[in-house]
Amino acid sequence: MFWGFHYEVVDPSGLLLADLIWPTYTQARNARLKWHKPGSSDGDLTIRTAQGDFRIGFEYLTRAFTNEVRFFLNRGDEPLAMADVLFPEGLRRHEIFLRQPSEGRLIRANRWGRVGFRVELAGKDIGSIEEPHWFSLRRQLRLNLPAAMPMPQQAFLGFLALNSAFR
């Protein structure tokens, strides 16, 4: 009842692949105001899969009118992916840069009132993340990513799109 948000990652047939669970209070690793105990992962988002739990944590890179943020995908203490949300100069939208496991970007590609992103790795488009319908009673995103990409990393990219488009 008190969870912030709960999303399901399902395949086209409706089979549950993962749960993406936001806690009520997220907490940056370098937060000034601490809700959770030092070293605790209670403020991290959880990706729950059949292979185990993965965590999405974050830290502030800059603190200003627009905070720049770095997100991490971890399994235990092992980092699996990292992305930076940065604001260019002026009054422009933030940009998402993928840093690990390889360099890339999530590039906003909205169409007719629907949220969309192109996923670019090493300078090549490898897929997309988009809302399938312009109106829906439940928020949905379609992840069109390579099957070779591990599910936790796909869910991490889905999280980045959700966080960017709807926060």
- Confidence class of residue 1 from pLDDT cuts 50, 70 and 90? very low
10-40, pLDDT tens digit by residue?
Answer: 888 888 988 888 776 777 777 777 776 666 6
Give the domain extent around 97.
Answer: 5-166
Mean pLDDT of the chain: 83
| Predicted TM-score of the model (pTM) | 0.86
| More confidently predicted of 2 and 154 | 154
| More confidently predicted of 78 and 33 | 78
Report whether pLDDT(49) > 80: yes
Q: Quote the number of domains for the chain.
A: 1
Q: What is the DSSP string of the chain?
A: ---SEEEEEE-TT--EEEEEEE-SS---TT-SS-SS-TT--TTSEEEEETTEEEEEEEEEEE-SSS-EEEEEEEETTEEEEEEEEE--SSS---EEEEEESS-EEEEE--BTTB-EEEEEETTEEEEEEE-S-S--SS---EEE--TTS-HHHHHHHHHHHHHHHH-
- Confidence class of residue 89 from pLDDT cuts 50, 70 and 90? confident
